[in-house]
Structure 1
Amino acid sequence: MLLSPKYQFLFVHIAKTGGTSVRAALERLRWRDPWYYPMFLCSRLSHLSGHRIASKLPRHAKVVAAKELLPREYFKGLFKFAFVRNPWDLQVSSFHHIRRERPHYLGGHETFEAFLRWKLDPDRPYQYHVDTSITLQTDYLIDLSGELVVDYIGRYERLQPDFAEICARIGIQAPALPHARQAKDRQKDYRSYYTDATAALVADHFARDIAMLGYGFDPTD
């Protein structure tokens, strides 16, 4: 999550949706923000206290955290946005990320199908939060009443034009998006990873995301 008091925006960073590139581009604005240094100091104090003083919004915090912590009128005045991604594509990206950077999280399931079935198995004993992509993306966008409270939802599939639209609404010239953390170990078409059965598993687990965000197994133009 990235908050800018000067430019009055709140970026809700959902993992594996292009958010690292968006964050890297927007973080440059911090140097122009007179609130940057007080915020940095509070962040360090939060770290030193074990984050017990609630002065820092975590990188992948849900929007409800900001709504509950910030003054009501201040929160309402922020331009709140996030990026989302096709759930089937997201699961493929997450698998490759874990296999590349945290292979011990695979739980001994080395193929995409085996890992997906294990991860989404409702009877799997809870050992740890396998990865953030098991959480519904819409959970990051709603408040405690289930109401959508972000002002703009960009799409990973339209990252560049949607980011340009966001920058226009913030009132800045769109900086170049760096190609941060690009995966080089996966096939391009996520559909090639799925059988009918595993595609149905994702459709069932992420049904609310698919309905609210308008995604389908096949990409749309």
Structure 2
Amino acid sequence: MLISFDKKFLFIHIPKNAGTSITNVLTPFAFDPGSKKVNNILNFPFDYTQRKLKFHIKKRILLIKSPVGIKLGISNSGSLKHAKAVDLKKILGKNLFDNLFKFAFVRNPWAKEVSNYEYIKRRKDHPLNPLIHFHSLSLEQFLEWKISKNYKSPQLNFIADYNDNLLVDFIGKVEDIDRDIKKISKQINIDSEKVPKLNSRKQPYNYQEFYNSHSKKLVEILHEKELKLFDYSF
């Protein structure tokens, strides 16, 4: 996540959706130009001059790590890098949350599943790496396992409440990242000419080549809501 109280925006960082690149681009605008301090408690840049707000959020972080916080149902009380919107609403408070321009980027689910699978295979420290390597799971088998564990609409979970009501004001697409960054820049009053292009890196593979008719259908099951809501096709 990335937050700016000066520009009044909140970026929800969905994993493996170009979030690091987007954060790098927008980070300069999330600093107070005078102090350029970083909040080490929450691990994100913000207007350091608002000390009362910093203290307010710090108290909330301490709260959600307590038994009381557990009762609130906050699922991401550790790192806030990939915090969900529903959790951030509780952490920041409704008034502050509602007054920020909230946005996130989604990705074609078929492409995302390939990227996720390849990432887990490479990262030996990933908790699911042993599952794939020990059982020699193919992408298709991994998707079947995810369905058996009720992994559904993972991107939607980051930007919606428990009833699938969206909590963000704008949803960009990784495939149209430069176009959508310009839209966001206009909304938060940033000169789009100062924002570097992000769409220059090409994928080293064609995600469609990883699928057959069955595995393609598995993604449709896993991401049924997202495919309809975000208007994606294979």
TM norm structure 1: 0.77
Cα distance, 1:116–1:32 mapped onto 2, change above 3 Å = same
Report the counterpart of residue 208 of structure 2 in structure 1. 191
Say if 2:156 and 2:164, in contact at 8 Å, map to a contact too.
no
Q: 1:172 aligns with which of 181, 190, 193?
A: 190
Partners of 1:5 and 1:88 in 2: how far apart? 35
State the SS of the aligned residue for 1:32.
Answer: coil
Which of residues 100, 104, 116 is equivalent to 2:130? 104
Which letter maps to 2:228? A
Q: Aligned AA for 1:43?
A: L
Gaps of 5+ in 1: 124-132
Matched, 1:208 2:221: no
Q: Which has the higher contact order (CA 8 A, sep 6+)?
A: 1
Q: Which residue of 2 aligns with 1:88?
A: 110
Counterparts of 1:34-183 in structure 2 under 5 Å? Answer: 37=37, 40-43=39-42, 52=65, 58-102=80-124, 103-104=129-130, 106-108=132-134, 109-122=136-149, 136-174=154-192, 175-177=195-197
- Percent identity of equivalent pairs: 29
TM-aligned CA distance change 1:147 to 1:35, over 3 Å: farther
With structure 2 as the length reference, what TM-score do the two structures score? 0.73
Pair 1:22-2:22 in alignment? yes
How far is the alpha carbon of 1:120 from its aligned partner?
Answer: 3.2
* Secondary structure class of the residue paired with 1:43: coil
Distance of 2:13 and 2:4 partners within structure 1? 14
Structure 1 match to 2:49: none
SS at match of 2:172: strand
Cα separation, 2, equivalents of 1:29 and 1:56: 25
CA distance in structure 2 between the aligned counterparts of 1:114 and 1:203, rounded to whole angstroms: 15
Q: CA deviation at 1:72?
A: 2.0
- Against the structure 1 CA distance between its residues 3 and 36, is the aligned structure 2 distance closer, same or farther, given a 3 Å change threshold? farther
- Between 1:155-164 and 1:108-117, the stretch displaced more is 108-117
Q: Distance in 2 between matches of 1:83 and 1:163?
A: 10
- Give me the whole-angstrom Cα distance separating, in 1, the residues matched to 2:153 and 2:80: 16
**Distance apart, 1:176 and its partner CA:** 1.2
2:196 alignment partner AA: A
2:65 maps to a residue whose letter is R
Supply the RMSD in Å over aligned alpha carbons.
Answer: 3.3
Q: Distance in 1 between matches of 2:162 and 2:130?
A: 34
CA drift of 1:165 comes to 1.1
1:46-88 superposed Cα distances (whole Å, 9 cap, x missing partner): 9xx8x83789861111111111222322211100000001111
> How many pairs are equivalent?
203
User: Whole-Å Cα distance in 2 between the matches of residues 179 and 146 of structure 1?
Assistant: 30
C-alpha spacing 1:80/1:57, structure 2 compared with 1 (3 Å):
farther
